[in-house]
Amino acid sequence: MAASPAYGEEKGGSSSLGEPEYGHDPASGGIFASDYKRHDDLKEMLDSNKDSLKLEAMKRIVAMIARGKNASDLFPAVVKNVACKNIEVKKLVYVYLVRYAEEQQDLALLSISTFQRGLKDPNQLIRASALRVLSSIRVPIIVPIMMLAIKEAASDMSPYVRKTAAHAIPKLYSLDSDQKDQLIEVIEKLLADKTTLVAGSVVMAFEEVCPERIDLIHKNYRKLCNLLIDVEEWGQVVIINMLTRYARTQFLSPNQNESLLEESAEKAFYGSEEEDTKDAKAEAASLAKRKPYVMDPDHRLLLRNTKPLLQSRNAAVVMAVAQLYFHLAPKAEVGVIAKALVRLLRSHSEVQYVVLQNVATMSIKRRGMFEPYLKSFYIRSTDPTQIKILKLEVLTNLANETNISTILREFQTYIRSMDKDFVAATIQAIGRCATNIGKVRDTCLNGLVQLLSNRDELVVAESVVVIKKLLQMQPAQHSEIIKHMAKLTDNIQVPMARASILWLIGEYCEHVPKIAPDVLRKMAKSFTNEEDIVKLQVINLAAKLYLTNSKQSKLLTQYVLNLAKYDQNYDIRDRARFIRQLIVPTEKSGALNKYAKKLFLAQKPAPILESSFKDRDHFQLGSLSHLLNAKAVGYQELPDWPDEAPDPSVRNVEVPEWTKCTSREKRKEKVEKPFYSDSEGESGPTESADSEPESDSEESGSSSSSGTSSSSSEEEEEEEEEEEEEGSGQQSEDKEGEEEEEKRKKRKEKGGPRKASPRSMVTPPPPQPVPSSNIISTSLVTDLEGLTLTDTSLAPALLSPAFGAVRTYELLHRMAGEGLSVEYCFSRRPFPGDPHMVAVQIQISNNTDAEVKSLRVSEPKLLAGMRIQEFPEIESLAPGDTASVVMGIDFCDSTQAANFQLCTHTRHFYVSIQPPVGELMAPVFMSENEFRKEQGKLTGMSEITEKLTLPEKCRSDHAIVQQVTSAANVGRVPCGADNEYRFAAKTVTSGSLVLITLEWREGAAAQLTVNSEKMVIGTMLVKDIIQALAQ
Amino acid sequence: MIHSLFLINCSGDIFLEKHWKSVVSQSVCDYFFEAQEKAVDVENVPPVISTPHHYLISIYRDKIFFVSVIQTEVPPLFVIEFLHRVADTFQDYFGECSETAIKDNVVIVYELLEEMLDNGFPLATESNILKELIKPPTILRSVVNSITGSSNVGDTLPTGQLSNIPWRRAGVKYTNNEAYFDVIEEIDAIIDKSGSTVFAEIQGVIDSCIKLSGMPDLFLSFMNPRLLDDVSFHPCIRFKRWESERVLSFIPPDGNFRLISYRVSSQNLVAIPVYVKHLISFKENSSSGRFDVTIGPKQNMGKTVEGVVMTVHMPKAVLNMNLTATQGSYTFDPVTKVLTWDVGKITPQKLPNLKGIVNLQSGAPKPEENPSLNIQFKIQQLAISGLKVNRLDMYGEKYKPFKGVKYITKAGKFQVRT
């Protein structure tokens, strides 16, 4: 530690008290006694009752820790302050505690009770931080306490605390691995969590504790895929890596069909890659037995949901998606990742380094992918050498017959670089290009031969080595070059190069029978002046010539060996003695003599010039193991694709009713505690995230709090997509009816508690109870009929023509509501009290066996501008009874949910109503001329046009009008043209016009135009209508 | 995941260490020093080093090595990206990420590191959340703190951490509501000896400075979004909207942040705004050479090219240079052999020229390669790709914000081979 007088002086302003002692460093020669004194001073400060002194002392202690100095003797003094009121002192004490608890286990126990108290705090952030510190104290005695705390926190109502619990799991596991089984239970529970906050952390815990328990993922697979985009970046990386492994065990290889084609294509391309074709052959053989490949819809889901993350700003996320695509996607789709990876090359050099390593591996297997980006791998003189060499590797991998001339021209520039390591690597690269692409072999060889006259030893040596390798492949054709190189011995002074040339001549002396002895003659002349390495090769050459052409070279060899016998270097003397014994037959020479020729002139295998990145892809790309090309500790092998797909139904999620209930029960107990008294840290979004299970459905990230019209439109899109997905997943079933059905259910899920992940529709949930009541309106009857899960779609006759199809949405499911179930629909009648409000009809049924009293709305949480007109309090609702009330909500022309609480005399439920965009308007009646006039005003940005195709059953006037009016609360406008339908409405709050024109062209083609100055509403409406018409 | 972090300065002093799990001895850094010694240049220290018991993953930023210790398999980019995020946070907090800044604020640094990782796994990396937890130091605050003994730790709990838009804190208030966007484009190019373009592409970013109250929801649309070939987004941007409508829709973080970075599709030919005429030659068997470089403007769409700087790494054999510049000034550092010519603005009437004699070490062989010229320049009020912001709309809040867009074109990695 040279920089000892550092901190104290430099620190300046903030530490004006007791400065001098602090600067001393015990290690750098402070006397031990004074060291003690200093700590006494700190102790005194810590014992004082002034927070500022304590803070100062803690700051200094932390600074000591930061520099790696021992401050452990202060432990008792510090630990006393763990309950200090000052939050910064407290935090710094935590830092200290976590650092030294391991060394002072007994004393550390003193602090535990403080944290246990913290775990019970009403504020979620304090609970979380208590758990965080408690779990970071590495004292084995408290393992049971930690276990308990983790278990409790795992069912905490705050997702943030649950996240902290997930973080604590690996900490406890590393402290005591015997707890594994219990921890797996906790992990299992947390994996079922539906919030984005928890997802990343729990998967991280899963990876550290029980990565082999892939079965835990099944039920959560679809949820994780759907949540992925909203998880924080670091969590995304962990989840994607885990899902890659998961997918490898559960799905079939998407490329098995293509391997047949691949085989022939690749053979033609580069015959050298035999292994590849062998693989392909084996695969093809097994393929014959297989059925044609159809991608599992879950496999597709993963690929589709990860793709947008290629656009992440976080390089690690992009890399994770890239490796996922590389390992899992069909060959045709892998290409999408190239662009994103090339983008990362603009990033920091460390990022470049890692990305290039992975690109190098990928480019061997999937060369076509990066070919369009060839120029992005061109090297700049300012790149660090390690980056240059990696880029060179990629360029070499990308070289093929079409681009080789460009690449070679580029290489020519590199060869003149000042960076000699890089030049050497370039020469190697040229060598590899020459081996791979026969066409340019001669050009490359000539180029390399020219390099032999380079002044730089390294360049020449490298060239000679590469030439040597190239020649070894086809020595017969290149005796010219060997001759040329023989001539070079006169000029080249670089020992390494001379030695290489001599070796080459010796090895192929039969191809140059006349020159070889001459070279030996020259070398014998200059033998004494040569470097050792050259002398050795001269002896070698002599020996080989003696064996092949003893007539001409016998004397020369004797001469050389004699010279060597008296050489200063014992290696050379040794070698000479050895060779003489071996080749020159004497009486004493042993049996080996006969084999001398075989020994020296054995057929030597040509060195294979191949990428060092070949076959690295058996490691999961992007992993540390891949980078190091060695298995790192804790690396999970990427399994091979299974031959037979495991049962896909394991991923279906059944309605986990009983588990839900119990966990909810637990939460409820907490709610009843004085939870609302703490107003300090609880923010709106959290509460809604906790206690409003419906809002953290699969889109929770965007839906529950962010609160904008567009986010909900996004949601809508997502939903649409899911629907498509489902459609394709189960083609065999009656599609139309099914979809209708699903839609209904989905709506309900949105409004009500989540019952199952959206893709779980394969297993039908239990039928809904039909509340026995006589007040149900006709529209409700139709809806409930739709809910009974029959395959028949709704009969059009039942739809009330005035309102179109009125859909019912679930506000509170009877499970979540403890027997109270609430549904709502948009009655499309003007709300009596206020024309700016949308009327919402609410249907409350009491399925409990007790009376529910004083039902009312309270604590609405609304975005700015939104208003709510509560329905009059319902005094009491007898068991089995149903009540219908109307409330008004001013949504401010946005599809934001209105969140409020529904209270009974004992309980309150968080609920939210989210209007479809079509319900935010009321029909207006206007003439054709008026319509034209208004439409003329709303062009440009306010006009949204979309083309669509009408399905068979929507090609009648009646059906079109029916579908449009069911999708939106609009009125029809008379129209002269035959194939045109017009509708008009005004938004409820601001009264902006919404004009809809549907033009039906020949056949199924149609064009939908919406004019509205509210662009967002317009766009969403177009989507909704198209969706309605497509059904 | 990340076990420990060591900060090491260029002279090899470990000036800060932080452990998130049990303590790892400083001696582990010896492996790093070994690798550092082997790599002649700081840039060539391998980012990942394997040691018998640990793996070291390091980055080099602002003359500091951030060396993290890893014990088990973890994606290396995960760590690298995180370390850069740490450096960015320091930069954000202290204005610079230097050894002195870190030493001066060692307690804040420690608190930050504590919050950013929990058990080695990233916890809070969004600067908005961190700033709620730990207030950045300002001169005023440090004076007040030293008097009143109050602290930099926020006394309010960070609610942002709990929300679904972690990048924005709640309750933001400004008297002047402003939103500024800087469209900055960089031209990466390699120009060969003869002046023809070997490789050129445009990389751009949009940096934003948003000071808007409440929870504004912004829509930014472009006149020609098709230009953008490959885009990476700040997490606040709704990807679906971009996919379907090619508009950027987002609830922005508070303050400065990078909204998107993009690459302009490579089909478009890149207009190179400057050309360079050069004549650099070294005579055989004499200890001198000639150096003559002229820079001139090319298609620059009527805008002036300014801030032109040329840097050249001369070959090692160069001893000194005697040059005359018709414009600007030049320096030659005989130790690092770097020639820098600060040209300034280019006026087409009088092209800047730098000409003179290069003195070589006597007896040294003639350099084989001519050095390549690295050019920097700037063009104000121009996005070279032609990208234009169409409009910015705000929803969700009632006030009228002040909006501004600025365009700049710069040279990125712009290299002329000679």
pLDDT in tens, B246-272: 899 998 988 888 999 998 876 667 788
Q: Is some CB atom of chain A closer than 8 A to the CB atom of B43?
A: yes
- The token pair at A701 is 């990230």
* Nearest-by-CA chain B residue for A685: B163
Q: Which amino acid is at A877?
A: L
Tell me how crowded residue A582 is: count the other CB atoms within 10 A of its CB: 18
What are the tens digits of pLDDT across the range A551-592?
Answer: 888 888 889 999 998 889 889 999 998 888 888 777 665 667
Q: What is the pLDDT of residue B159?
A: 57
Tell me how crowded residue B204 is: count the other CB atoms within 10 A of its CB: 26
What are the tens digits of pLDDT across the range B111-163?
Answer: 889 888 888 888 888 887 788 778 777 666 666 665 555 555 555 555 555 56
For A351, the enclosing helix (H) or strand (E) is: helix A349-365
Interface test with A, best of B73, B249, B376, B415 (most A CBs within 10 A): B73
* Nearest-by-CA chain A residue for B170: A683
Distance from CA of B384 to the nearest CA of A (A): 18
Strand order in the sheet with B217-222: B247-250, B217-222, B389-395
Which ranges of A176-232 would DSSP assign to H, the alpha helix? 180-191, 196-209, 221-227
CB contact under 8 A, A88 and B170: no
What are the tens digits of pLDDT across the range A849-893?
Answer: 778 888 888 777 777 778 888 888 888 888 878 888 888 888 878
* Nearest-by-CA chain A residue for B40: A385
Report which of residues A748 and A1009 the model is more confident about. A1009
Q: Is residue A1009 within 8 Å of residue A945, measured between CB atoms?
A: yes
Provide the b/e sequence for A513-534 (b: ≥16 CB within 10 Å): eebbbebbeebbeebeebeebb
Q: What is the pLDDT of residue B163?
A: 63
Q: What is the pLDDT of residue B144?
A: 61
- The token pair at B178 is 């402003």
- The token pair at A844 is 């409350």
Average pLDDT over residues A472-486: 75
Q: Which residues does chain B have within 8 Å of residue A384's beta carbon, measured at their own beta carbons?
A: 41, 43-44
Average pLDDT over residues A898-916: 81
* Nearest-by-CA chain A residue for B311: A382
Q: What is the pLDDT of residue A901?
A: 82
Q: Which amino acid is at B21?
A: K
CB contact under 8 A, B80 and A315: yes
Q: Which residues does chain B have within 8 Å of residue A132's beta carbon, measured at their own beta carbons?
A: 118
Q: Is some CB atom of chain A closer than 8 A to the CB atom of B337?
A: no
What are the tens digits of pLDDT across the range A172-209?
Answer: 998 888 888 889 999 999 998 888 888 889 999 998 89
Q: Which of B26, B59, B73 is nearest residue A624 as measured by Cβ atoms?
A: B73
User: What's the rounded Cα separation, in Å, for the pair B109 and B88?
Assistant: 12
pLDDT of B39 above 60: yes
Interface test with A, best of B125, B142, B162, B259 (most A CBs within 10 A): B162
What are the tens digits of pLDDT across the range A757-772?
Answer: 433 333 344 444 444 4
Closest CA relative to residue B258, chosen from B276, B236, B274: B236
Tell me how crowded residue B71 is: count the other CB atoms within 10 A of its CB: 20
Mean pLDDT of chain A: 75
User: Positive or negative, the Cα torsion across B117, B121, B124, B126?
Assistant: positive
pLDDT of A549 above 60: yes
Query: β-strand A874-877 against A852-861: which pairing, if any?
Result: antiparallel
Tell me how crowded residue A937 is: count the other CB atoms within 10 A of its CB: 11
Q: What is the pLDDT of residue A257?
A: 63
Range of lowest pLDDT (A729-733, A1012-1016, B335-339)? A729-733
Q: Which of A320, A386, A710 is nearest residue B241 as measured by Cβ atoms?
A: A710
CB contact under 8 A, A386 and B368: no
Which band of pLDDT confidence, cut at 50, 70 and 90, is reported for residue A392? very high
The number of helices, as runs of H, and strands, as runs of E, in chain B is: 7, 23
Which band of pLDDT confidence, cut at 50, 70 and 90, is reported for residue B184? very high
Q: Is some CB atom of chain A closer than 8 A to the CB atom of B263?
A: yes
Q: What is the pLDDT of residue A884?
A: 83
φ/ψ bin of B285: left (φ > 0), alpha (ψ from -120 to 50), beta (otherwise)? left
Q: Is residue A347 within 8 Å of residue B77, measured between CB atoms?
A: no
Q: Is residue B18 within 8 Å of residue B113, measured between CB atoms?
A: yes
The number of CA neighbours under 13 Å toward the Cβ of A673 is 11
What are the tens digits of pLDDT across the range A240-292?
Answer: 999 999 998 888 888 776 554 444 444 444 444 444 444 545 554 554 455 56
Q: What is the pLDDT of residue A322?
A: 93
Distance from CA of B151 to the nearest CA of A (A): 7
Q: Is A513 helix (H, G, I), strand (E, B) or coil?
A: coil
Q: Is some CB atom of chain A closer than 8 A to the CB atom of B284?
A: no
What are the φ and ψ backbone dihedral angles of A820, each rounded to 5 degrees?
-90, 120
3-state SS string for A13-70: HHCCCCHHHHHCCHHHCCCHHHHHHHHHHHHHHHHCCCHHHHHHHHHHHHHHHHCCCC
Q: Which of residues 54-113 of B touch A (CB under 8 A)?
A: 55, 58-61, 70-78, 80-82, 84, 100, 103-104, 106-107, 109-111
**A760 alpha-carbon distance from chain centroid:** 24
What are the C-alpha distances in Å from A167 to residues A72, A152, A246, A518, B123? Answer: 27, 14, 22, 77, 9
Which residue do the tokens 């039969």 mark?
A510
User: Positive or negative, the Cα torsion across A343, A345, A351, A352?
Assistant: positive
User: What's the rounded Cα separation, in Å, for the pair B197 and A263?
Assistant: 38
Which band of pLDDT confidence, cut at 50, 70 and 90, is reported for residue B185? very high
Q: Is some CB atom of chain A closer than 8 A to the CB atom of B10?
A: no
pLDDT > 90: percent of chain A: 8
Please classify residue B26 by burial: count the beta carbons closer than 10 Å to its beta carbon, then call 0-12 exposed, 13-18 middle and 19+ buried: middle
Tell me how crowded residue A572 is: count the other CB atoms within 10 A of its CB: 22
User: What's the rounded Cα separation, in Å, for the pair A889 and A886?
Assistant: 10
What are the tens digits of pLDDT across the range A619-671?
Answer: 888 888 888 888 888 888 888 888 887 888 888 876 544 444 444 444 444 33
Q: Which of A164, A410, A711 is nearest residue B238 as measured by Cβ atoms?
A: A711
Q: Is some CB atom of chain A closer than 8 A to the CB atom of B399?
A: no
CB contact under 8 A, A634 and B72: yes
Average pLDDT over residues B80-94: 91
Tell me how crowded residue A717 is: count the other CB atoms within 10 A of its CB: 18
Q: Which of A138, A348, A709 is nearest residue B395 as measured by Cβ atoms?
A: A709
Q: Which of B75, B201, B240 is nearest residue A623 as measured by Cβ atoms?
A: B75
Q: Which residues does chain A have within 8 Å of residue B106's beta carbon, measured at their own beta carbons?
A: 7, 11, 62-63, 66
Query: β-strand B178-191 against B402-416: which pairing, if any?
Result: parallel
pTM over 0.80: no
Distance from CA of A832 to the nearest CA of B (A): 27
Q: Is some CB atom of chain A closer than 8 A to the CB atom of B136?
A: no
Which residue do the tokens 């540390």 mark?
A624
User: Positive or negative, the Cα torsion across A394, A400, A403, A405?
Assistant: positive
For A347, the enclosing helix (H) or strand (E) is: none
Q: Which residues does chain A have within 8 Å of residue B371's beta carbon, measured at their own beta carbons?
A: 381, 418
Q: Which residues does chain B have within 8 Å of residue A22's beta carbon, measured at their own beta carbons?
A: none
Most confident range, picked from A13-22, B103-112, B161-170: B103-112
CB contact under 8 A, B77 and A689: no
Q: Which residues does chain B have within 8 Å of residue A689's beta carbon, measured at their own beta carbons?
A: 162, 164
Quick one: DSSP state of residue B151? Answer: -
Interface test with A, best of B6, B25, B81, B143 (most A CBs within 10 A): B81
* Nearest-by-CA chain A residue for B235: A312
Distance from CA of B240 to the nearest CA of A (A): 6
CB contact under 8 A, A315 and B77: yes
Q: What is the pLDDT of residue A206?
A: 92
Strand partners, B186: B203, B410
**CA torsion B136→B141→B146→B147, rounded to 10°?**
-150
Interface test with B, best of A7, A10, A14, A129 (most B CBs within 10 A): A14
What are the C-alpha distances in Å from A92 to residues A41, A88, A98, A433? Answer: 18, 6, 10, 60
Q: Is A847 helix (H, G, I), strand (E, B) or coil?
A: coil
Q: Which of A51, A622, A707 is nearest residue B75 as measured by Cβ atoms?
A: A622
Q: What is the pLDDT of residue A588?
A: 65
Q: Is residue A647 within 8 Å of residue A259, measured between CB atoms?
A: no
CB contact under 8 A, A88 and B153: yes
Q: Which residues does chain B have within 8 Å of residue A136's beta carbon, measured at their own beta carbons?
A: 118-119
Report which of residues B146 and A136 the model is more confident about. A136
